[in-house]
């Protein structure tokens, strides 16, 4: 199976969530199941069924995170030597040539993407158009509304 690129920050975030699930949420739901069992008839026990459903969700999320971490290729963005080229992990300041709007994006792994925080997936159209370019270049992004051109103002690796 191919390794999936992930920043060190993204991998640590998943490890933190995994730790929380295993040490806090899992024991809490196990205790809730035990308490609900003590109430008797399980067929008509809504607390028991809700706790079992929550347990199923937690166990599924633990398996999902373990899978993602085992297939992750962790990349330390600060150690990249790219000669100013945009690569995975780069933080890029752009200006829309048509509207003049400035935006800042960091190119991250698929599981880390969050447009509200300025993190875009390496497989997104914008990231694909930016990769390989450098400061001063113009990148053309194929969007559903047509071609959007962005001038690259700066490239940082933080």
Domains of the chain: 4-75 (1.10.287.180), 77-156 (3.10.50.30)
* Sign, Cα dihedral of 127, 130, 134, 136: negative
Residues 95-143 pLDDT 10s = 999 899 999 999 999 989 999 999 999 999 999 999 999 999 999 999 8
Query: Which residues face 103 on adjacent strands?
Result: 94
Per-residue pLDDT at 151 exceeds 90:
yes
Q: How far apart are CA 130 and CA 101, in angstroms?
A: 17
Report phi then psi at 44, rounded to 5: -110, 20
Give residues with Cβ within 8 angstroms of 32, minimum separation 6. Answer: 47, 51, 54
**Full-prediction pTM beyond 0.85?**
no
Q: How far apart are CA 113 and CA 106, in angstroms?
A: 9
Residues 6-53 pLDDT 10s = 999 999 999 999 999 999 999 999 999 998 888 777 777 888 889 999
Q: How far apart are CA 105 and CA 139, in angstroms?
A: 14
């Amino acid at each position: 199976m191919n390794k999936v690129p992930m920043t060190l920050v993204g991998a640590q975030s998943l490890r933190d969530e995994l730790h929380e699930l295993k040490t806090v949420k899992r024991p809490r739901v196990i205790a809730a199941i035990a308490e609900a069992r003590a109430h008797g008839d399980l067929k008509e026990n809504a607390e028991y069924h809700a706790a079992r459903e929550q347990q199923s969700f937690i166990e599924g999320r633990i398996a999902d995170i373990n899978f993602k971490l085992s297939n992750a290729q962790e990349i330390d963005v600060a150690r990249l030597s790219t000669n100013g080229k945009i690569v995975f992990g780069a933080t890029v300041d752009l200006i829309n040539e048509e509207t003049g709007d400035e935006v800042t994006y960091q190119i991250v792994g698929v599981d880390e993407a969050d447009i509200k925080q300025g993190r875009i997936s390496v497989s997104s159209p914008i990231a694909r158009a930016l990769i390989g370019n450098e400061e001063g270049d113009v990148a053309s992004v194929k969007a559903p509304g047509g071609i959007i051109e962005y001038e690259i103002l700066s490239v940082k690796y933080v």
